[in-house]
Structure 1
Amino acid sequence: IVTIIVQQNLVNICRPATNIIVKLVCADKSSKGAVQCYGFDVVNNAITSKEFLPTLVQRLSATDYLLQFNSLHLINALFRHVTDKHRDKFVNELNELNIKNTVMNLMISSPAEELTKQLVEFQRLTIQEGNIKKNIQYSSDNETHKRMLEELWTLSGLTQEGDMKWRKLGFSTENPKRDLFRIGFYGLEIINTYANKQTETYRNMIQKEAEYPDGKACPIMRAATEVIELLCDFWDINTGYIFAITLDCFVRLWHESDVNQNQNSDDLIRVSLLVRSQFRFSITKSESSGADALNQFKNEMLQTPYQIIKERHIKELELEDDLMSKVPIRYVSSIKHMIITTKFFLNFE
């Protein structure tokens, strides 16, 4: 069946084969029927072919709508039912095939309703995967975690001075776990991917900040943490391109704002709020740009003067204060706060 999916491009042949794989992956493993070859683990033995996932992802760019739909439908079924044993390998392979950019291109191409449902489902599964990783805390006993963190130091090109190492990268202390707590393994993975794929940009950014006098350097790792939390609050985005642009914006606003010499946490919060404001504005403005949305977003984030961003943010705060002075708005806000707080404690457990 897998061979048919890989080798045949005709929809009337691929579709039945695709549906069979979907049924097997999604079937109840506790069923007492005569056939027991159910679940991802069993199907995985057949789809480990080097051509299988690359073929499915490649077909997402096909001109045939049904080929696109069938391929994404199968990818989503596999993604939804992948077991912990195979999760990392499966997700990593999808990422290496650049599936997120492919899905993004499909989203802005005005897809038909049925394909749109599959695209939204893929986004939901991606968010779910991000939440799983975000809840995995950094551990120095985990070799993968330890390697990723050490790579951030190695790729920076900095040299250690005495006991000062991680603070030179922009962590608040010599124990990075304290800052990574907010973003978990998910955040570490995003920063590590950025450092590996855009090594020269990363190294230049780190080394440039190291040249600033004490208190004036933007703490890159803490800035990256703020950026990742911002992206999670909106879409749970983990595309390196959006992360890189937003981090560049953060560093730019840091240096264009009046940062205190002592570089306290208030500075970080103040700049973070400006970045959030500009992010919301840039996303809203770029939504109508179609295929040029990313370039529009980049220009708004990196070219908008600091003073304009600051003045817009002040107006937003004034409008918010005006709205909050009205009793109905205060009531709705208090209810919303109660819901969010309750949800936090439920998730915390």
Structure 2
Amino acid sequence: MDDIAELIDRLSNDEDAVKKMAVFKLQTNIGDPSFAEIFIAQGGLAKLRNLALYSNGNTLAYALTSFSRLLDLDKGWDYVTPDLVSRVVELIVTHPLVNILRGAMSILVAIVSHPHISNASRGSYTGPFGFRALKPAITAHAEFLEMLVNRLSSADHALCANSLQLINSLMRDTITNDTDAEWPKFIKRLQDLGVIKAVFVLMQSSALQDLAHPLLEFQALTKVLLRRWRDVKVDLEIKEHRLALKGLHLASAPPEKEKAEETSTGSKRRPHNPEKWRRLGFQTESPAWEFGDVGFLGMMDLTDFVRKDEDGFRKIVMEQNAKAAAQRCPIARASLTATYILYHQFEVDKSDIDDPKTFQVLESRTNYDRAFRPLLLQWSRLHTAALSAFVRLWQETQAEADDFDKVAELVRVLIFHVVGQAHRTKDVQDIEDEILEMECSRLRDLQMEILERSYENAWGNHLTHVREELKVEAMQFVKEQRIRCLLQGSWFPVSVDRKADGSRIDLHSVPWRYVRLSHNRRYLHYCDYERETSYEPKLEELPEKIDLSTVSSVVSNVIPASIASASSSSGTLTPTLGAGSKLASTKITIHGYPPSTNGSSNKNAKEVVLLALHPQTHSLASEWLDGLLMLLNQQPITSETSKLVNMVTDYGLKIRLLNVRYTDDYHNSPPELPSREGVDEDYYYSLFV
């Protein structure tokens, strides 16, 4: 205690060096609650306050740091006077030294945040807290907020953190404790000063480790703001809301007669335009209720879209109203839908700052992309891009009024893919370009992938069983298609042997063979001709035939040209048959047993070559090789057939998924039986489950 008394005495010493050393020691010890209590009990707080008011240099920096640490212990509030607040605000505006600015900002953060942290230990002090405590000083120093935002671009990360922490405290207090509903004006002033841009740059920078917590709090406060605006109901009794709607109407270039009636001050009654608001894309002539899901946030987004490009908005409205009513894209409704999609994409109702998992994520730099969503700060630009994409997709799909929900779903998939999967450092301009340029076909593919994953997660075992059933059906379908190719018949060159110099023989100079499967699928008919003709011989014109019951195996050496050698084996194709590669030597050999003298198969005889085919395209080779194998009840082996089976299976599964709602669960809750009230005995119904 003697040491503390001596330290307090030195705080008022006439020599600056002595005071500086004393307050330097004080800042390292004042964080100890027991030390702080003795320090205050022995009258040290008054001397510390005087140093904060009248000293300068390092002495001032140490004094401010000591005072802020006392406030963090919820002590010393009796000495938070208006002159101290004014002094600290003045330092932030005028002083260039970083170590002084840090302490000054810490004191203001404690003052502004005090009601949010604790209301129990104010001592005898009855003065204002929160933003109200700073308001007189900020009024006297109009540049305070501007300087505060400018500090966010400082090279000193600690100073950036302190500045952002103070901005967060001011925002939180204004939003939660403002009884005069002036918080929108304060937030707009901060935005006009560039706070959004500055924080967005910090979120995408490499300085996240030093700024993680204040940045995360700013992100959470942004969600709070969005929720507050969403919770404000659009009410035409409120002047601001009424003027916003009127501005939308005037920006849409209403007919001249209508504009003249609106500006007229005569006593004549104005005739009502029956489509005044439907022209803009509202569903009814009472637009206020249509903002129910998105509130004033939806109004802000729509008016901001119009403000950015009033000529473009007017052009869209005129283009849509030139179409038939069923074909018009409802701009206003599309805008509200875009707001709703963004609101749920960013999980605005979920508070990041109160989620303990978020702070676990922040422990590792590799997880920052999961915690920080800088694109949330670009809400207005994303809304504009989403609405523009909505109009584009409406036109590309030639949608009509009943298709609104389908187009909205495509936009939701678009935002989920582009915004939801974006890397933290991705440029917002690239995001906008991707939203505006993504093709509709790509979106439909993504939609099916998302749908399939959703059902896979919910009904994994059921879908596996369904997929297996569909694959069997697809195999039967493809088998029938391949066999039909054989039933139709094809031309094959009799020989493709090379000349003595190694060059290929001109196929126009060799005989050709026409091969066709009989209608009963038991015989393979063929005949050799001098050349290929456009005329396809009939089955009765093909004298030669092979009884498929005598076929023992089908051998193929169909290979891509890039493969130097290949091995042939019964019923197998060694290399993959790909549609993009060229055929080097194409041959399908049918082996079997020669018929006996009585015409039946002689399986005791030696296996011989019954027929050789030389298909000249991959598709033809796949059709005949796999068609013959399937006729022999063997599995197809070419990649083209495999892809075809998978494609048919996938489409079958997607068609079934499109016909089932995610909420359907007839096993647990069977459908309600229709009532027979008012129905006579001749009526009946069928119930399909």
5 Å-filtered alignment, 1:278-289, equals 278-287=414-423
Please name the residue that 1:35 is paired with: 125
Name the CA distance, whole Å, in 2 between partners of 1:104 and 1:217. Answer: 37
Name the CA distance, whole Å, in 2 between partners of 1:219 and 1:286. Answer: 29
Instruction: Supply the AA of the counterpart residue of 1:245.
Output: A
Name the CA distance, whole Å, in 2 between partners of 1:227 and 1:27. Answer: 38
Deviation sequence 1:323-349 (CA, Å, 0-9, x none): 3223799xxx99xxxxxxxxxxxxxxx
Name the CA distance, whole Å, in 2 between partners of 1:10 and 1:206. Answer: 55
5 Å-filtered alignment, 1:85-100, equals 85=180, 86-100=182-196
Deviation sequence 1:59-96 (CA, Å, 0-9, x none): 21232322311210100011111132231221111122
* Offset, 1:219: 0.4
Note closer, same or farther for the CA distance 1:286–1:247 as it changes in structure 2 (3 Å cut).
Answer: same
The TM-score, its normalising length taken from structure 1, stands at 0.86
* Offset, 1:295: 2.4
In the alignment, structure 2 segments of 5+ residues that lack a partner are 1-87, 259-271, 349-375, 464-661, 664-689
Name the CA distance, whole Å, in 2 between partners of 1:190 and 1:121. Answer: 24
Q: Does 1:2 align with 2:89?
A: yes
Note closer, same or farther for the CA distance 1:52–1:207 as it changes in structure 2 (3 Å cut).
Answer: farther
Please name the residue that 1:119 is paired with: 215
Higher strand share: 2
Instruction: Supply the AA of the counterpart residue of 2:218.
Output: F
Please name the residue that 2:333 is paired with: 222
* Offset, 1:31: 4.7
Q: Does 1:153 align with 2:249?
A: yes
Computing the radius of gyration from Cα coordinates, the structure with the larger value is 2
In the alignment, structure 1 segments of 5+ residues that lack a partner are 335-349
Q: Does 1:213 align with 2:303?
A: no
Note closer, same or farther for the CA distance 1:295–1:286 as it changes in structure 2 (3 Å cut).
Answer: farther
Name the CA distance, whole Å, in 2 between partners of 1:286 and 1:27. Answer: 38
* Offset, 1:11: 1.2
Name the CA distance, whole Å, in 1 between partners of 2:120 and 2:306. Answer: 44
Please name the residue that 1:298 is paired with: 432
Residue range with higher mean Cα deviation, 59-68 or 296-305:
59-68
Q: Which has the higher contact order (CA 8 A, sep 6+)?
A: 1
Note closer, same or farther for the CA distance 1:89–1:284 as it changes in structure 2 (3 Å cut).
Answer: closer
Instruction: Supply the AA of the counterpart residue of 1:256.
Output: E
Deviation sequence 1:181-201 (CA, Å, 0-9, x none): 111112212222232233233
User: Helix, strand or coil: the match of 1:141?
Assistant: coil
Instruction: Supply the AA of the counterpart residue of 1:151.
Output: G
Deviation sequence 1:216-235 (CA, Å, 0-9, x none): 12101100111001111122
Name the CA distance, whole Å, in 2 between partners of 1:31 and 1:284. Answer: 44
Name the CA distance, whole Å, in 1 between partners of 2:432 and 2:339. Answer: 17
1:231 to 338, 342, 355: 342
Instruction: Supply the AA of the counterpart residue of 1:44.
Output: K
Name the CA distance, whole Å, in 2 between partners of 1:202 and 1:6. Answer: 43
Structure 1 residue ranges, 4+ long, deviating more than 4 angstroms after superposition: 29-32
What's the % identity of the aligned pairs? 29
1:243 to 383, 389, 394: 383
User: Helix, strand or coil: the match of 1:33?
Assistant: coil
Please name the residue that 1:80 is paired with: 172
Please name the residue that 1:346 is paired with: none
Name the CA distance, whole Å, in 2 between partners of 1:169 and 1:77. Answer: 40
- Let me know the Cα RMSD of the aligned residues: 2.3
- Matched positions, count: 325
Higher helix share: 1
User: Helix, strand or coil: the match of 1:239?
Assistant: helix
1:67 to 150, 159, 167: 159
Residue range with higher mean Cα deviation, 57-66 or 152-161:
152-161
Name the CA distance, whole Å, in 2 between partners of 1:200 and 1:118. Answer: 40
The TM-score, its normalising length taken from structure 2, stands at 0.45
User: Helix, strand or coil: the match of 1:221?
Assistant: helix
Please name the residue that 1:197 is paired with: 308
